[in-house]
Structure 1
Amino acid sequence: MMVRKTIAAGLCALMLAAAPASAQGPAPDRALLQLDWIPTGEHAAYFAGVGRGFWRDQGIELALARGYGSGDTVNKLAAGAAQFGVADLGAVLAARARQDVPVKSISAVYTHSPHSLFVLRSSGITTFRGLEGRRIAVTPGNSHRLYFPEVARRAGTDPERITWVNTDASAMAALLITRRVDAAPFYSIHHYYTNKAALSAREEIVVLPFVETGFAIYAASVATTDDMLAKNPELVRRFLRGLQKSFEWARDNQAEACKLHVARNPEVAQDDCEGSLKAVMGFVFTDHARETGLGRFGAERLANTWRVVAESLQLPPPGTRPRRWIQACCRDPARSGEQELRQRRGLAGCVADGGSGEFVAIVGASGCGKSTLLRLVAGLVPTTAGRVVLGGTAVTEPRADTAMVFQAATLLPWADVLRNVTFPLRLMRKAKGKMLGDTEARARALLATAGLAGFEHRLPRELSGGMQQRVAICRALLQDPRVLLMDEPFGALDALTREEMSLELLRIWQGREMAVVFVTHSIPEAVLLADRVVVMSPAPAASPRSSRSACPARAASNRRAARRSSGRRSASGR
């Protein structure tokens, strides 16, 4: 059985209470960090952190070991050969789903994917199309191998007709440059020094990035074992403090960080290290990291990462969710963990009496806990006190009768509209071992209701923003949820599309026995849509206020307008 319970709240509370750690007692704790690859400039922040004593300041004597791919790192962690490891999040998710390997990711490192395929310009290969019969080097457990089949299929290439050549990480570049293989998977951040070696052999490396096919997913992460989290959370917390300090210092002192790295790894040239480290920082310190907090996982991108992993490997869904396979240790209590704890403490009693079929809007200032409330109702995060109850049953995990629509549509970029809508139920069908014969017919009917008839086989990039959100709503409604949770689903749309989508939502909602909880910053939007509006105070500890719509006649008029709009919608615009 998959490990379900998380100790995130306990870790956060301990972290808030604890003063910065220093070595206490006669000797520091000893720990090994297993890297995911040979120690290139990509790993300079780790070596610089050791050299500067950032982990020693936390009472940890940290050793570093070279890696042989993410899969190997996960296996070594599970076997107890290392306390911490750097591994692609996809490799961790796949290991949990396939074999219930007791390893969890505890910190995001790369918040979007640098996965790519390196080829020689002289090979004539310019895309992923037509790679049948080619030889591609790979290390055992390499995370690129997890994602490549779906990348190939979307490019029209049969992945079964590609020859994979297993090799050591240190030999892949040489095999490619000497033409013993046709391609090799690397992170794009390795291009600088790999191409430098190729140029010396009168060749040139061309990068084919996976991200061009829509891989907006987490990549490298730091992981540890379930046992470590359960028995020594305080060590995990101190390790993460040292990790954060190491990356922040390396970002601000890249040349000096590389000097420390080269001193430990003299085979790496200083300019190679600086080129790689500069590229790495573009994947670590991103807008997404600023929104979520450095090292923390966002629910939306985590869900998208799991969808990509599951689709690529054709995995049946386990009896859990990927959020249970990460550990939400508080990396930055001032910005993230403490704020989320305060938010969760301030949510008691909110929407306590929501009725069946009721439309409830939640408004409030940024940071007051609106999205946290939805995640609690969805079962994506645990409560720190009290409980969430739906239909008389406490919510302790994600439920089949609850669906969520995020601000971004989070569609699978390589799948057409019909496959995106049916994706959750197709996974459920595999898990339950039964056919859901009417799934496609129901999906087509929902798409027609949403004004998307004729668009079933279009890709997401061929749709407008409003049309993509309709697809996301249809995907949620196909599950026949009793509760539909919507986290600012129209926030990224222009004013005209937003108003049209509001009316569209009301029209779709008509006649369904379904409660809707709708988060918005817009008071006019809340009044337009909702039977009841909940106003949350900027101070999380204050009680939220709830009131019925002051304009019921206006609401009824809006709903009649929504029904009338069904006859004159134009599918060409939104």
Structure 2
Amino acid sequence: MQERLLGACALGGLMAASSAIAADKVAYQLDWLPGGDKAPIYVCIEKGFCEAEGLDVTIVPGRGSTDAISRLAAGSSDIGMADIGALMAAKAQEGVGVTAVMSVFNTGPHAFYTLAGSGFGSVADVKGRTIATSPFTSSNVYLPLVLEEVGATEDDLTLIKADPGALGPMLMTGQADGIIAWMTDLTRYGNQAAEAGKEIVALPWSEAGLELYSAALIASDGFLAERPDVAARFVRAFRASVEFCREHPEDAAASVAAIVPELGAEDVTGSLKDALPLIFNEVTGTHGLGTFDADRLAATWARVAEAQGLDAAGFDPETAVARSYLPES
């Protein structure tokens, strides 16, 4: 009996070891610091969506879309997140071996933030204002386009480049009339304003006509070619994690805080809730979660090409995406 028990234990150990060995390792590339807007990958790991698909996922830190694209192109990471506009520009100019496999933010997150009562009540009111921005944000690329939409140019305002952590204090203390930030930061800046006895006002650039795809799940072409089944399983797990974030934002935020304990669950929840309207909206209702509509993709490329002075006709935006990895709804 004891021998049979020992044999069963040994078999169980072998099965567990076999299961661990069978899990496919995937390096996930962040495009920025951890936070609520990055919640799906933490949910995928902490809630077991990745494990259920036989994946052992490691998160790699990043410092912007360009950095993420470069790492994926070099093969040091397998799949991750970046702005699809940055990806299309990189493919048009350098032919990088990276492809988008799922849309995440189907609406641009870019916005001006100002304070209630400042008289800066719409994007068109930016003329004559002092605006602070981070040197690294992709929003700077699109600033000339949104200004054009309201009949302005950068000469009509004073633009200050500042450290990202200084933007909120500059706005609260009156050193800037407005700042450039993403809608995913609405709760964070709103809390800063409340602490200063003020009220934040967000002016999304999408409301001024800047409609485009933004953050997307992108992958190394080598990863897609060599491990297509792993890629498909990852996209399936990631998409399920995005759905979980919508249905259970507090639990999703807890998953982020569990893996990155220095982040407070309350702040993460706010950032996630700020990000969800960029994922689930009228575009999602029309085309489905994660999809790339050909017309919207072409319009995004046209905006990117105009913003960066590229030949729009010289690149086909369809070559930047692969739709076959996305599961059917």
Q: TM-score range by the shorter chain?
A: 0.7 to 0.9
| Distance verdict in 2 for CA 1:223–1:188, change over 3 Å | same
Q: Which residue of 2 aligns with 1:223?
A: 218
Residues 290 and 121 of structure 1, relative CA distance in 2, 3 Å threshold = closer
Q: Which residue of 151, 158, 178 corresponds with 1:183?
A: 178
Report the equivalent of 1:254.
Answer: 249
Matched, 1:311 2:306: yes
Q: Deviations over 1:476-535 (max 9, x none)?
A: xxxxxxxxxxxxxxxxxxxxxxxxxxxxxxxxxxxxxxxxxxxxxxxxxxxxxxxxxxxx
In the alignment, is residue 242 of structure 1 matched against residue 237 of structure 2? Answer: yes
Q: Which string of whole-angstrom CA distances, capped at 9 and with x for unpartnered residues, describes residues 223-273 of structure 1?
A: 112222222222211210110111122222222111222223344333333
Where do 5+ consecutive residues of structure 2 fail to align?
1-17
Aligned to 2:29: 34
CA separation in 2, counterparts of 1:257 and 1:267?
A: 16
Query: 1:275 aligned to 2:270?
Result: yes
**TM-score, with length taken from structure 2:** 0.83
Q: Distance in 1 between matches of 2:131 and 2:111?
A: 16
2:56 partner SS: strand
Query: For residues 67 and 160 of structure 2, what CA distance do their matches in structure 1 show?
Result: 17
Equivalent position of 1:118 in the other structure: 113
Is this contact kept in 1: 2:101–2:325, CA < 8 A?
no
Asked if 1:89 corresponds to 2:84, the answer is yes
Quote the offset at 1:317 in angstroms: 2.4
How has the CA–CA distance of structure 1 residues 171 and 270 changed in structure 2, closer, same or farther, with 3 Å as cutoff?
A: same
Q: 1:327 to 1:255 in 2, by over 3 A?
A: same
Deviations 1:317-356 (A, max 9, x none): 25331011111133223x4xxxxxxxxxxxxxxxxxxxxx
**Secondary structure of 1:157's match?**
coil
> Which residue of 2 is the match for residue 46 of structure 1?
41
Per-residue deviation at 1:33?
2.0
The amino acid that maps onto 2:259 is R
1:138 paired residue number: 134
2 CA distance for matches of 1:231 and 1:42? 29
Quick one: structure 1 residues 201 and 89, their matched pair in 2 at CA, closer, same or farther if it must change by over 3 Å? same
Q: Distance in 2 between matches of 1:153 and 1:32?
A: 40
Q: Does 1:214 align with 2:209?
A: yes
Per the alignment, in what secondary structure is the counterpart of residue 55 of structure 1? Answer: helix
Distance 1:306 1:200 in 2: 40
Kindly indicate whether the alpha-carbon contact (under 8 Å) linking 2:104 and 2:279 is maintained by their aligned counterparts in 1: yes
Alignment of 1:378-527 (within 5 A): none
CA distance in 1, matches of 2:72, 2:178: 30
1:180 deviates by 5.0
Query: Is 2:91 aligned against 1:100?
Result: no
Bigger mean CA deviation after superposition, 215-224 or 286-295: 286-295
Query: Is the contact made by 1:132 and 1:158 (CA closer than 8 Å) also made in structure 2?
Result: no
Question: Would the aligned equivalents of 2:107 and 2:211 in 1 still touch at CA under 8 Å?
Answer: yes
Q: Do the aligned partners of 2:39 and 2:256 also contact (CA within 8 Å) in 1?
A: yes
Matched, 1:197 2:196: no
Q: SS at the partner of 1:111?
A: coil
CA distance in 1, matches of 2:126, 2:210: 21
Q: Which stretch of the first structure deviates more once superposed, 282-291 or 35-44?
A: 282-291
| Worse-superposed segment, 228-237 or 75-84 | 75-84
* Partner-residue secondary structure (3-state), 1:173: helix
Q: Structure 1 residues 196, 295: CA separation in 2 closer, same or farther (over 3 Å shift)?
A: same
Q: Work out whether residues 41 and 268 of structure 1, in 8 Å CA contact, stay in contact via their aligned partners in 2.
A: no
2:297 aligned partner: 302
Report the CA distance shift for 1:265/1:185 in structure 2 as closer, same or farther (over 3 A).
farther
Q: Which has the higher helix share?
A: 2
Shift in Å, 1:222: 0.9
Cα distance in 2 for partners of 1:203, 1:309 equals 35
Q: Tell me the distance in 1 between the aligned counterparts of 2:109 and 2:190.
A: 16
Please tell me the residue identity of whatever aligns with 1:134: T
* Residue in structure 2 matching 1:74, options 69, 73, 98: 69
- Cα distance in 2 for partners of 1:293, 1:32 equals 27
Identity %: 30
Q: The residue matched to 1:327 in structure 2 has which SS?
A: coil
How far did 1:162 drift? 4.3
Structure 1 229/249 Cα, relative in aligned 2: closer, same or farther at 3 Å?
A: same
1:286 to 274, 281, 284: 281
Q: Which has the higher contact order (CA 8 A, sep 6+)?
A: 2
Whole-angstrom distance in 1 between the partners of 2:79 and 2:176: 33
**What residue ranges of structure 1 are gaps of 5+ in the alignment?**
1-22, 336-574
Root-mean-square deviation (Å)? 2.6
